[in-house]
Structure 1
Amino acid sequence: MTLPRIAPMLATPGVLPPAGQDMRWAYETKQDGQRVVVYLPGDGSVVLRARSGEDITAAYPELLSLGGALGSTAAILDGEIVVLDERGRGDFQRLQSRMGLAHAPARAARRAAETPVHLMLFDVMHLRGDLTGTRYARRRQELEALGLAGPFWSTPSALVGHGESALRATRENALEGLVCKRLDSVYEPGVRSRAWIKIRNMRTADVIIGGWSPGRGRLAGLPGAVLVGQREAGRLRYAGSVGTGWSTEERLALARLLSAAESDTCPFDTVPPVPGAHWVLPLLVGEVRYSTRTRAGLLRQPSWHRLRPDLAPEDSAADLP
């Protein structure tokens, strides 16, 4: 059977629905992985397409057996490919070693044996016909009735109502966040819709600026990103590059401060691999927001929040893993 191409529906960043509307929404754990649309034509085959529409099937050979999971029933499913850590949470750093191998099947097979992925399914857009115009609550019933649970895939539950409790649970378990989905919403292919709201759990950290990398385009001549670290056992450990979160005025003010602190010596205990980096004396402390850390301790999705002139550099040591 030839299945139609369906672009994934996208969520809009936001906050929990008002308490009075809580029971009109379902809540799903936000997964830290690669979005995928799964095409099951009912002939035993499977095609996996990334959000861009690229065919990435060959990158994940362990998911090929999903093609026969529904027998001759044709379906199009929505989900997220993750690599689970020891606590059952998505680990994006481990997943990165599996991405980009769609044109290298031999390498993909080796990586699959070393670092298997898991497909989290959360929607169905086609099943014995088009379901995109069907309400989320009904689509969810259809998906769960398929009973898709296997060695490399599952259908995590969705919670109707109790949004505050659901969000609190994601924070307590160090999960990426929550996706809120209106029960009466239809599936809008390719649309970033207010019917789906994503809430990312962001953490904060105090960091020391040890350098910066030049901006490009309209940011030419200004810092494009600052290179930050934290104290550990008396050394300044590199924690990553932060390139967002400033207004133009704030970036100009920061440029003046960095110029005054210019240094010929890298202050980090290990020189970070940042081409064209400029080093500064490790005097400026700032606060950043971020989602998680990599196993190497680098900040993921960091964003600048503010300077902390009230803190001395030796105060920014606390929350390294």
Structure 2
Amino acid sequence: MPWPLPGVPAPMLAIGGAPPDAAGWAVEMKWDGVRIIAVCEARQCRLYSRNGNDVGGSYPEVVAALKVLSGNGSLILDGEIVAQEPDGAPSFGRLQRRMHVALPGEQLVAEVPVQFFAFDVLRIGARDTMAEPYLERRKRLAEVDFAAPLSAPPHWIEVDAQALQRVALEHRLEGIVSKRVDSVYLPGRRSPAWIKTPLRQRTEAVVAGWTPGAGAMGSTFGSLVLGAYDENGRFVYIGNAGTGFTQAARRIIRATLGEIETSASAFDEPPPEAAAAGWRWVDPILVGDVEYREFSGARLRMPSWKGLRTDKVPAQVDVPPLR
């Protein structure tokens, strides 16, 4: 989707991959929030999402703080809106309570406070900084007088990225981002000068059905419907996995699904969207390995299929723990 805001820099994007094993890189933590370009001019501040939508109404406390920070001047920051658990770990599940509320009331703002973590400065006063190297921009960012709910999280230079990955895992962060210390800011570009390395978790899941496919997937399936057993022994829905399959795996799985198809859901409470979307059901006898970003207590976030397992029976598959 083209960036719809002339005059406002689109966010620079990272490629995915392992952290580089070379000199000349800095590392930042990846916070599992919502990417934001914050634009302030003459006491007017707006927050733009990755697709160019103005989402400032959802985060009035951030807009108010940015107005105080920028005063009558010009300031453009790149960063993330993050909601944290009481122990400081970011929670995308908590953030969702704010993301889709255009004008939150005082109670919601108090119940789900958010922070704006700035990791780049693109303009400060009359100076456009995007052509400056990363370390120079970070130096300018460190000189900005941030106050809650605004901050600039740290970066590390010439450190062991593997060690920082372990720190990120211990603190339940999303991962790390490695950035070349001499890299300029390239609006709207996905550049190898930035490399994101997300941390992923794995769990087993029982296949309870599938959704019809479309286009190239029309002959197989769109996604697999996944379930697990909760602490009360109920078979509950935990999400759909639609990625991670080779075409050969799709054909094999689809043939197996046809052999175990049933007319009714095995869930104690089928998802409400299942009937309208034409989901198909199977005997819950297949167990698969699934990689995911986070479990909210209701659904897996960004699940990806890794393969069938023959070493577990469905009754051994528990709902993933909250982390």
Q: Deviations along 1:249-300, whole A, 9 cap, x unmatched? A: 111111111111111231122212223111111111110111111133x211
Where in structure 1 do 4 or more consecutive aligned residues deviate above 3 Å? 107-111, 318-321
Aligned sequence identity (%): 36
Report 1:18-167 matches (<5 A).
Answer: 18=21, 20-21=22-23, 24-41=24-41, 43-65=42-64, 66-102=66-102, 105=103, 107=104, 111-127=108-124, 128-150=126-148, 152-162=149-159, 163-167=161-165
Distance 1:93 1:180, change over 3 A: same
Match among 4, 7, 13 for residue 7 of structure 2? 4
What is the Cα deviation at residue 188 of structure 1? 0.5
Contact 1:131 1:139 in 2 (8 A): yes
Contact 2:69 2:145 in 1 (8 A): no
Contact 2:90 2:172 in 1 (8 A): no
Rounded Cα–Cα distance in structure 2 between residues aligned with 1:309 and 1:208: 12
Contact 1:149 1:155 in 2 (8 A): no
Task: Give the match for residue 320 of structure 1.
Answer: 321
Rounded Cα–Cα distance in structure 2 between residues aligned with 1:222 and 1:261: 15
What is the Cα deviation at residue 64 of structure 1? 2.3
Rounded Cα–Cα distance in structure 2 between residues aligned with 1:112 and 1:295: 22
TM-score (norm 2): 0.90
Distance 1:220 1:109, change over 3 A: farther
Task: Give the match for residue 304 of structure 2.
Answer: 303
DSSP-derived class of the 1:165 partner? helix
Runs of 5+ unmatched residues, structure 1: none
Rounded Cα–Cα distance in structure 2 between residues aligned with 1:161 and 1:270: 51
Match among 272, 291, 294 for residue 293 of structure 2? 291
Q: Deviations along 1:114-146, whole A, 9 cap, x unmatched? A: 423211111001123111110000000100111
Contact 1:124 1:143 in 2 (8 A): yes
State the one-letter code of the partner of 2:280: H
Rounded Cα–Cα distance in structure 1 between residues aligned with 2:221 and 2:187: 38
Q: Which stretch has the larger CA shift, 308-317 or 173-182? A: 308-317
Task: Give the match for residue 177 of structure 2.
Answer: 179
Q: Deviations along 1:47-94, whole A, 9 cap, x unmatched? A: 111111222222221122211213333211001011111221221122
Distance 1:315 1:282, change over 3 A: same
Rounded Cα–Cα distance in structure 2 between residues aligned with 1:281 and 1:5: 52
DSSP-derived class of the 1:245 partner? coil
Over the residues paired in the alignment, what is the CA RMSD in angstroms?
A: 1.8
Task: Give the match for residue 207 of structure 1.
Answer: 205
Rounded Cα–Cα distance in structure 1 between residues aligned with 2:317 and 2:48: 43
Runs of 5+ unmatched residues, structure 2: 1-5
